[in-house]
Amino acid sequence: MSYVRRSARVSALLKSAETKPITIKKLAEKASDQDVTKAIKKETTKDRDISIETVKQENGLKVENKKRENNKNKDMDSQKPKKKVRERKHEIIYAPRVSGTKKLVGAHVSISGGIHNAIQYSLSIGANAFAIFLRNQRRWDAQPLDPEHVSMFREGCDENMYPSGSVLPHGSYLINLGNPDQEKRSTVGQCTLEESIQHIAGCINRAHDATKSVICVVENMAGAGNSVGSKFEELGKIISLVKNKKRIGVCIDTCHAFSAGYDLRTKERYEETMTEFSRHVGFQYLRGMHLNDSLKELGSRRDRHANIGKGYLGLEPFRLIMNDSRMDEIPLILETPVPDDDFEIYKKEIALLYELIGKQTLADANIPKSFVKSLGMNENEISKSSGKKKKVEKNSEIDESIVIVPQKKKAKIK
Ligand SMILES: [Zn+2]
Please tell me the predicted confidence (pLDDT) of residue 409: 32
What is the 302 CA–ligand 1 centroid distance (Å)? Answer: 12
How many CA within 13 A on the CB side of residue 412?
A: 11
Please tell me the total count of domains within the chain: 2
Q: How far apart are CA 299 and CA 293, in angstroms?
A: 14
Contacts for 196 with CB less than 8 Å, ≥ 6 apart: 3, 5, 7, 178, 189, 228
Statement to judge: residues 69 and 172 lie in one domain: no
Where residue 228 sits, what CATH number does that domain have?
Answer: 3.20.20.150
Residue 248: closest CA among 257, 240, 235, 239: 239
Q: Residue-wise pLDDT tens for the chain (414 aa)? A: 333 344 455 665 644 333 333 333 333 333 333 443 343 334 333 333 343 333 344 445 555 555 555 555 554 444 444 444 444 445 668 889 999 999 999 999 988 889 999 999 999 999 999 999 887 766 677 778 899 999 999 999 999 999 999 999 988 776 677 766 665 554 555 788 888 899 999 999 999 999 999 999 999 999 988 888 999 999 999 999 999 999 999 999 999 999 999 999 999 999 999 999 999 999 999 999 999 999 999 999 999 999 999 999 999 999 999 999 999 999 999 999 998 777 889 999 999 999 999 999 999 999 876 665 444 444 444 444 444 444 434 333 333 332 222 323 333 333
Statement to judge: residues 57 and 137 lie in one domain: no
Residue 100: closest CA among 128, 120, 121, 72: 128
Please tell me the predicted confidence (pLDDT) of residue 26: 37
Q: Pick from 100, 132, 147: which residue ends a domain?
A: 100
**Amino acid identity at 45:** T
What is the 11 CA–ligand 1 centroid distance (Å)? Answer: 10
Statement to judge: residues 16 and 155 lie in one domain: yes
Statement to judge: residues 171 and 260 lie in one domain: yes
CA–CA distances in Å: residue 370 to residues 8, 66, 379: 36, 31, 11
What is the 254 CA–ligand 1 centroid distance (Å)? Answer: 8
Supply the range of the domain harboring residue 44: 25-79+88-100
What is the 305 CA–ligand 1 centroid distance (Å)? Answer: 9
Please tell me the predicted confidence (pLDDT) of residue 22: 35
What is the 34 CA–ligand 1 centroid distance (Å)? Answer: 39
Q: Pick from 71, 100, 129: which residue ends a domain?
A: 100
What is the 93 CA–ligand 1 centroid distance (Å)? Answer: 27
Contacts for 258 with CB less than 8 Å, ≥ 6 apart: 264, 294, 298, 312, 313, 317
Q: Are 384 and 316 in contact (CB under 8 A)?
A: no
Statement to judge: residues 219 and 229 lie in one domain: yes
Please tell me the predicted confidence (pLDDT) of residue 163: 94
Statement to judge: residues 221 and 110 lie in one domain: yes
What is the 152 CA–ligand 1 centroid distance (Å)? Answer: 27
Statement to judge: residues 64 and 154 lie in one domain: no
What is the 346 CA–ligand 1 centroid distance (Å)? Answer: 15
Q: Are 335 and 108 in contact (CB under 8 A)?
A: yes
Residue 346: closest CA among 366, 357, 332, 363: 332
Statement to judge: residues 174 and 218 lie in one domain: yes
What is the 104 CA–ligand 1 centroid distance (Å)? Answer: 16
DSSP codes of every residue in 50-76:
---TT---HHHHHHHHHHHHHHHHHHH
Statement to judge: residues 48 and 128 lie in one domain: no
Please tell me the predicted confidence (pLDDT) of residue 13: 61
Please tell me the predicted confidence (pLDDT) of residue 261: 97
Q: How far apart are CA 390 and CA 191, in angstroms?
A: 39
What is the 154 CA–ligand 1 centroid distance (Å)? Answer: 24
What is the 308 CA–ligand 1 centroid distance (Å)? Answer: 14
What is the 253 CA–ligand 1 centroid distance (Å)? Answer: 5
What is the 335 CA–ligand 1 centroid distance (Å)? Answer: 6
What is the 310 CA–ligand 1 centroid distance (Å)? Answer: 17
**Residues 192-218 pLDDT 10s:** 888 889 999 999 999 999 999 999 999
What is the 163 CA–ligand 1 centroid distance (Å)? Answer: 21
What is the 6 CA–ligand 1 centroid distance (Å)? Answer: 15
Statement to judge: residues 159 and 259 lie in one domain: yes
What is the 35 CA–ligand 1 centroid distance (Å)? Answer: 36
What is the 219 CA–ligand 1 centroid distance (Å)? Answer: 7
Q: Pick from 34, 67, 100: which residue ends a domain?
A: 100
Statement to judge: residues 316 and 212 lie in one domain: yes
What is the 137 CA–ligand 1 centroid distance (Å)? Answer: 13
Statement to judge: residues 75 and 151 lie in one domain: no
